[in-house]
Amino acid sequence: MKSFKVLTWAASFLILAAILALPAWAGKISISDKVSAGSWAEKSGIQIAPLYLNKGDPSISFMSLDEATKQDLIEVMETSDVNQLLVENKGKKPILLLAGEVVGGGKQDRMVGKDLILGPGKIRRINVFCVEHGRWTSGAEKTGFKSASVMADKEIRQMAQPKGGSSENQSGVWDEVSKSLGAYKAAAPTSNYQAILKSEKFKDSEPVVQYFLEAFDNDPDLAGFALAYNGEVQSLEYFANPALAAKYREKLIRSYVTSALKNLSASKPVSLAALSDFAGKSLEDDTHRYKNDDEIVIESSGKDLESFELQTLKSALVHYARYQK
């Protein structure tokens, strides 16, 4: 009898240990033929769900803008066109730049206009947008560009990308920058988007950011995120593999929180079923394919949604983002 109790206790302990060892995404559901989602994490009316690829591509590998900047392997220079910068990859590995990544300096801070790949040794012009409306001079400390390690909020990123990141979108980007500065009550003499980083509201958001960072910190299979607030799914995005996604995890979460707190008006929770509906809607009303030096970008639009997919020249997925209009 005593040995039976010992065995029962041991079995119970093993079961409990197995449950505790289960990853946070153990209850994930399929939301498309490519992607599954784990349970929502929720804080302050913001929901973020982890996304997982049903089959990733580990062969896709890039340096991020931040990595290239730290290793001095990318140079960003002014051109005669305010909506274009000249970028050079001085390394031997391709660099991935995402729409919404901010580079500070030059005559005016800019934001990358669309997802792109900068091949090894390549020099090319890229589409960018001003995110500092009131300055057009180079101060002593602003003669060159460096990654600001900042991803603009969802609305600004979304506004920039249509039509291949066309300069036609600049006024819309400025409008969204102005809304962000107003929502964060940021002191910005030059209407610089980065001024929100010094605002009290942004500083107060740090515990929310840390909550989500910790929620997804120990998840080696995470390939992207879905975002929901105000009772609706707002966006989802994922990368070719978890290793690539990990390079952008913190920047994206900060971007999501910034966007949500800018627009938050309700806290009605969103179900994973709603996320599945969001991911499954067809976007065939309008589709454009842009092929450039090192990448293909496919833009698709429907009644309520739009998406942007970055591929290699061999049509392999690198990054996918879908937004509510």
Q: Where are the alpha helices (DSSP H) in the chain?
A: 2-21, 65-70, 154-160, 162-165, 170-183, 200-204, 206-215, 242-246, 249-263, 272-280
| pLDDT reading at 13 higher than 80 | no
pLDDT tens-digit series, residues 105-133: 888 999 999 999 999 999 999 999 999 98
- Kindly provide the b/e burial profile for residues 146-176, where b requires at least 16 CB atoms within 10 angstroms of the residue's own CB: bbbbbbbbbbbbbbbbbebbebebbebbbeb
18-32, 65-79, 205-219 — which is least confidently predicted? 18-32
The pLDDT of residue 11 is 43
pLDDT at 190: 87
Characterize the bridge pairing of strands 145-151 and 224-229.
Answer: unpaired
For 78-109, the pLDDT digits (tens) are 999 999 999 999 999 999 999 999 999 888 99
Stated pTM of the model = 0.89
pLDDT of residue 268: 85
Q: In this structure, which long-range contacts are made by residues 174-183, counting pairs with CB atoms below 8 Å and at least 24 apart in sequence?
A: 174/130, 174/133, 177/131, 177/133, 178/133, 179/155, 179/262, 180/153, 180/155, 180/156, 180/258, 180/262, 183/261, 183/262, 183/263
| Residue-wise pLDDT tens digits, 220-250 | 999 999 999 999 999 999 999 999 999 999 9
274 by Cβ neighbours in 10 Å (0-12 / 13-18 / 19+) ranks as middle
Which residues are CB-contacts of 229 (< 8 A; sequence separation ≥ 6)? 45, 46, 47, 260, 263, 264, 267
